[in-house]
Amino acid sequence: MSPRPAPPAVDRAAASRAAVVARQARAAIKHAVASKARTAQDVLDAAWADRQSAEAGLRVRELLTSVPTLGPTRTARVMAQLGIAESKRVGGLGIRQREKLRTYLRIREGGIEPRRLVVLAGPTAVGKGTVSAYIRDHHPDVHLSVSATTRPPRRGEIDGVHYYFVSDAEFDQMVQNHQLLEWATVHNSFRYGTPREPIETALASGKRVMLEIDLQGARQVRESMPDAVLVFLLPPSWEELVRRLIGRGTEDAAEQARRLETAKVELAAQDEFDYRVINSEVGQAAQEVVELTLVPAASA
Ligand code: 5GP
């Protein structure tokens, strides 16, 4: 393409005046969103109704950082997860990006607090199960997700309380019907998944929700729910982790070795998480996790 000829001098002056006006209009929109005089969704509507509007010329990044409690760091992450380039303007978004952005803002501005969804993950045998059982017993205000699994029940495990124990065929059915928010094959053996409906119902009624799942599942939740708070539970030391795994005595030697291998890989992923909690004492760790469900998104 050949360079565009420069406009005549008189037009240049008019153009720069127009640019100043447009900039002021965009600043006014950002201010209205920041002071809650307008919602970001309202700005989207105006932008998509008129491609020439000031709203359409606003960068998505600028719109999102104006939303109260959405700082620059979280905005960058949300945009990456929604697949929207840094420099995109609201008016220039494609259909799919529009849908994703609208859904994201609808949840955030709709009174539902998505950050109330906390995902607890961590290496095998770190004590995730113990911490989540403690939370179930001591914090009834936190809704704990009950996963479906193809693993057979261990002694003392109750169907519908610890897991929904399902057959392979039933699990296939749940996957096919999109009934699972995430699912994964854990330790190369059984499948585990989070039933979607109870989570959505709990969130919609304003409850705080916690999922205790493996790393693969945590990554899937981060993809589909960028506001989820991801917490990584750490052992006080590697030696302690090994001791806990052997001490539990629920797996044979081959399974123990397999799980230790998985644990090494899982520990290496801790930097992907928003928070790390060391599980030295169960009550203390549980308290820290519960407090994270209350942390304002702005400081997350
Ligand atoms: P266990 O068989 O010892 O109860 O659990 C094995 C692993 O499966 C644990 O790491 C646990 O976090 C993970 N897990 C439990 N439920 C789910 C789930 O719904 N989804 C995923 N991805 N992992 C789960």
* CA 122 to ligand 1 center in whole angstroms: 10
Contact between residue 89 and residue 64 where contact means Cβ atoms under 8 Å apart: no
Q: 């520990």: which residue's tokens?
A: 267
Q: Find the residues whose C-beta lies inside 6 A of ligand 1.
A: 124, 128, 147, 151, 182-184, 186, 192-194, 212-214, 216-217
- The 10s digit of each residue's pLDDT in 250-298 is 778 888 888 788 888 889 999 999 899 999 999 999 988 988 877 444 3
Contact between residue 262 and residue 124 where contact means Cβ atoms under 8 Å apart: yes
DSSP lists the bridge partners of residue 163 as: 147, 159
- Residue 154 tokens read as 């261990």
User: Who's near 3: CB < 8 A, 6+ residues apart?
Assistant: none
Residue 163 belongs to what H/E stretch? strand 163-165
Mean pLDDT of the chain: 88
Rounded to the nearest angstrom, the gap between the alpha carbon of residue 128 and the centroid of all alpha carbons in its chain is 19
At 1, is the pLDDT very low, low, confident or very high (cuts 50, 70, 90)? low
Most confident of 8-17, 184-193, 238-247: 184-193
φ/ψ of residue 180, rounded to 5 = -110, 135
pLDDT at 182: 96
Tell the burial category of 260 from Cβ atoms under 10 Å away from its Cβ (0-12, 13-18, 19+): middle
Measured from the Cα of 218, ligand 1's closest atom is 22
At 115, is the pLDDT very low, low, confident or very high (cuts 50, 70, 90)? low
Site to probe by mutation for ligand 1, drawn from 189, 210, 213 as the one with most ligand atoms within 8 Å of Cβ, is 213
Q: What is the DSSP letter of 7?
A: P
Percent pLDDT > 70 in the chain is 92
- The 10s digit of each residue's pLDDT in 66-77 is 998 788 888 998
At 3, is the pLDDT very low, low, confident or very high (cuts 50, 70, 90)? low
The overall pTM is greater than 0.75: no
Q: 């970001």: which residue's tokens?
A: 40
- The 10s digit of each residue's pLDDT in 150-179 is 999 999 999 999 999 999 999 999 999 999
Measured from the Cα of 220, ligand 1's closest atom is 22
pLDDT at 295: 46
What integer is the mean pLDDT of 169-196? 94
Other residues' Cβ atoms within 10 Å of the Cβ of residue 171: 21
